[in-house]
Amino acid sequence: MNIMIRPADVVDSDILTSISFAAKRYWKYPEEYYGVWKDELTITLDYINNNQVHVAMVEDDVVGFISIAELKDDFQTGEFLIRKGYWLDHIFINPDYIGRKVGTKLISFAKELCRSKNITSLHILSDPYAKGFYDRIGAQFIEEVPSNIKGRFVSLYKFLI
């Protein structure tokens, strides 16, 4: 399977939003979670224009995407203080392509992109189901932190480039 990576275009916003929701639904979370995640999972034109967003293509189909966001200031979200710096904000794969090396290809691409921009590390807030993936790619687990859903936790990682 040949996976190509290209910069996202504003016309990709609907398909990227569709992929982000489908990838989350793959894990069969309770339906009420999607209301909490709606803004986070919706990829807008502004989001594409203001962040490093790249899509994975197989033939003519968008099958996944990755985004890197720079936070200029610390900010509080619920019980967790998000630190300024660079974050691997999203990596979502169409469920039909999970386990087919799309995520690995996107991470390799992100590492090269970061190197070219002198970005030495990315912070990651990992979905519980993605912890094994981040462990395999060599991200450093830091701690469990409260998510934006009460009583739920996510893993904070740092990925050295």
Q: What tens digit of pLDDT does each residue of 94-146 get?
A: 999 999 999 999 999 999 999 999 999 999 999 999 999 999 999 999 999 99
Confidence of residue 80 (pLDDT cuts 50, 70, 90): confident
The pLDDT, as a whole number, for residue 3 is: 97
Q: Which two tokens stand for residue 115?
A: 């190197």
33: which 2 tokens? Answer: 């979670």
Name the H helices within the chain.
13-25, 31-41, 45-50, 102-116, 131-136
Residues recorded for the chain: 161
pLDDT in tens, 41-77: 999 999 999 999 999 999 999 999 999 999 999 988 7
Give me the CATH code for the 3-160 domain, please. 3.40.630.30
- Residue 78 confidence class, pLDDT cut points 50, 70, 90: confident
pLDDT in tens, 16-30: 999 999 999 999 999
* Per-residue confidence (pLDDT) for residue 81, from 0 to 100: 84
Unique residue bearing structure tokens 């691997």: 88
pTM over 0.85: yes
Query: How is the chain split into domains, by residue range?
Result: 3-160
Please give the pLDDT value at position 79: 75
Close Cβ partners of 36 (under 8 Å, ≥ 6 residues apart): 148, 149
Instruction: Give 126's strand partners.
Output: 155
First-residue to last-residue Cα distance in the chain = 26
pLDDT of residue 19: 98
**HSE-CB of 145 using CA atoms within 13 angstroms:** 21
Q: For residues 150-154, give the mean pLDDT.
A: 91
**Predicted pLDDT at 21:** 98
